[in-house]
Chains A and B, each alone.
Chain A
Amino acid sequence: MSFKNILSQLNIFAQCKKYGLPLWQCPQFLFLVMGIVIAITAITFYAIATRYIADPRLVALMVLIITAILFIIANIINRSFERLAEASRMKSEFISVVSHQLRSPLSNLRWAIEFLMSGRTDPITEKQLEYFKILKENSVRMGELVSDLLIVSRLETAKLPFKKQEFAFEDLINNLIKEFKPLARASNVEIKFEPEKNLPKVFSDPSQLRLVIENLLDNAIRYIKERGQVEIKLEKRDKNFYFEIKDNGVGIPREDQKYIFQKFFRSENILRYQTQGSGLGLYISKAIVERSGGKISFRSQEGVGSTFWFTIPIK
């Protein structure tokens, strides 16, 4: 944390404004009040004790009063934290409801477009097909965004349980590579996968692990400008699996690197090359890897490429 960060943390008024809470309900402010009360009490008691030590009842009464005040403040703090938690829960629930509601019209839209594109109704012209493709791509994109939002809301409300089972990690990766072949071919990207020999099976949730690798693989291919190579490694390191994916794509500018795992963050150079993507993939990947007890990180240089890696426990 930089010095500037610490300073901004200390600016209680700004912090309270951020949460949208009145001052008397804002935890930061109330903690400060509590601290001041305690400090004043200590000094007052010292003063009183040196003068009126003969009458302990007075001291006892004051202790009682101060305790009551502190108790009330603590209670308000507690309630305001509950309010904050409730607000966050409602936000996630809202996202979940909206996303579900959005899904039905999106499927209707997408399938109707696909039906028209198939030429099953009437033959369509080259020009029409071009525009149908735009419609389809965008409805698929919207669908993906909604799906990502649903995953995020489930992750944040802890409604995405782990369904652990034993499976071959390298098979999962090979299957995904197969699925990505068309996109890779269209982008002139070659995917290389070299797993270590005789790897043990992994005990984890295959669908969640799949989401992580899907996001990393998709990024790696998408952010290669013209032609390039994606190299995937899988190794056993102590009690963990180590997965690495290296591309020679556009890379992440140094000043953007610290934000890369944040929700909705999209690097400026990526926006220049292509506009698709929700900015949620890496956020989701990080949340899943960390919940599995692993670590995720990367190294990257703009114009040279990026290498993302993560670890997950074998069992």
Chain B
Amino acid sequence: MKKILFIEDESALQKTFGEILKQEGYEMTSALNGEVGLRLAKTQKPDLILLDLILPRVHGFEVLKKLKEDKETKDIPVIVLTNLEGIGDIDKALELGATTYLVKAQYSLEEVVEKIKKALGE
């Protein structure tokens, strides 16, 4: 069973995604802030990370940078899932090594699930 780590401070989203990803046959772990997210990424070695950018404690960009610097986590694909779409945000995330950048407001739930499947090579 493939593991997905969801770093997101909105517990409502954690709940919705937890449920739908379980039904799709994935195991999802949640992290409500960047710090926990980084720790879980190292200990659990997920197959995919879903990352929000506006996070308490450690900002999403910082999380992404650290994930890509650490040789244990650098190969895990990261999908940025956020409502931030200011100047340079998308470029910065892709430069830092994000696989995909999704603006929450522009996608339906099923579309996001499709992107997750695609990133996992399914």
A104 and B19 contacting across the interface, CB-CB below 8 Å: no
Q: Residue among A111, A120, A161 with the most chain B CB within 10 A?
A: A111
A11 at the B interface (CB under 8 A): no
User: In whole Å, how far is A136's beta carbon from the nearest beta carbon of chain B?
Assistant: 9
Which residue in chain A gives the minimum CB-CB distance to B11? A108
Which residue in chain B gives the minimum CB-CB distance to A112? B16
A103 and B86 contacting across the interface, CB-CB below 8 Å: no
Please, which residues of chain A bring their CB within 8 A of the CB of B83? 100, 103-104, 107
B105 and A120 contacting across the interface, CB-CB below 8 Å: no
A108 and B12 contacting across the interface, CB-CB below 8 Å: yes
- Interface 0/1 of A148-170, CB less than 8 Å to B: 00000000000111000000000
| A-B pair number, CB within 8 angstroms | 47
Please, which residues of chain B bring their CB within 8 A of the CB of A159? 86-87
B10 and A104 contacting across the interface, CB-CB below 8 Å: yes
B105 and A107 contacting across the interface, CB-CB below 8 Å: yes
A103 and B104 contacting across the interface, CB-CB below 8 Å: yes
Please, which residues of chain A bring their CB within 8 A of the CB of B86? 159
CA–CA, A143 to B23, complex, Å? 27
User: In whole Å, how far is A249's beta carbon from the nearest beta carbon of chain B?
Assistant: 27
Please, which residues of chain B bring their CB within 8 A of the CB of A104? 10, 83, 104
Please, which residues of chain A bring their CB within 8 A of the CB of B109? 110-111, 114-115, 118
- Which applies to chain A's interface (DSSP): helix, strand, loop or mixed? helix
Q: A103-B83, A120-B23, A159-B86 are in contact. Are A111 and B105 (CB under 8 A)?
A: no
Please, which residues of chain B bring their CB within 8 A of the CB of A114? 108-110
CA–CA, A143 to B108, complex, Å? 12
A120 and B10 contacting across the interface, CB-CB below 8 Å: no
Q: Count chain B residues whose beta carbon lies closer than 8 angstroms to a beta carbon of A.
A: 18
A108 and B13 contacting across the interface, CB-CB below 8 Å: yes
B20 at the A interface (CB under 8 A): yes
CA–CA, A120 to B110, complex, Å? 12
User: In whole Å, how far is B114's beta carbon from the nearest beta carbon of chain A?
Assistant: 13
CA–CA, A146 to B23, complex, Å? 31
User: In whole Å, how far is B51's beta carbon from the nearest beta carbon of chain A?
Assistant: 15
CA–CA, A106 to B12, complex, Å? 11
A120's partner among B12, B19, B108 (CB-CB below 8 A) is: B19
User: In whole Å, how far is B50's beta carbon from the nearest beta carbon of chain A?
Assistant: 13
Please, which residues of chain B bring their CB within 8 A of the CB of A115? 16, 19-20, 109
B13's partner among A100, A111, A146, A147 (CB-CB below 8 A) is: A111
Write the residues of chain B forming the contact surface with A, with a CB cutoff of 8 angstroms: 10, 12-13, 16, 19-20, 23, 83-84, 86-87, 104-106, 108-110, 112
In the complex, 27 of the A-B residue pairs with CB atoms within 8 angstroms, ordered by the A residue number, are A100-B83, A100-B84, A103-B83, A103-B104, A104-B10, A106-B105, A107-B83, A107-B105, A108-B13, A110-B109, A111-B13, A111-B108, A111-B109, A111-B112, A112-B12, A112-B16, A114-B108, A115-B19, A115-B20, A118-B109, A118-B110, A120-B20, A120-B23, A143-B105, A147-B105, A159-B86, A161-B87
Write the residues of chain A forming the contact surface with B, with a CB cutoff of 8 angstroms: 100, 103-104, 106-108, 110-112, 114-115, 118, 120-121, 143, 146-147, 159-161
Top 3 closest pairs, chain A to chain B, by CB: A107-B104, A103-B83, A114-B109
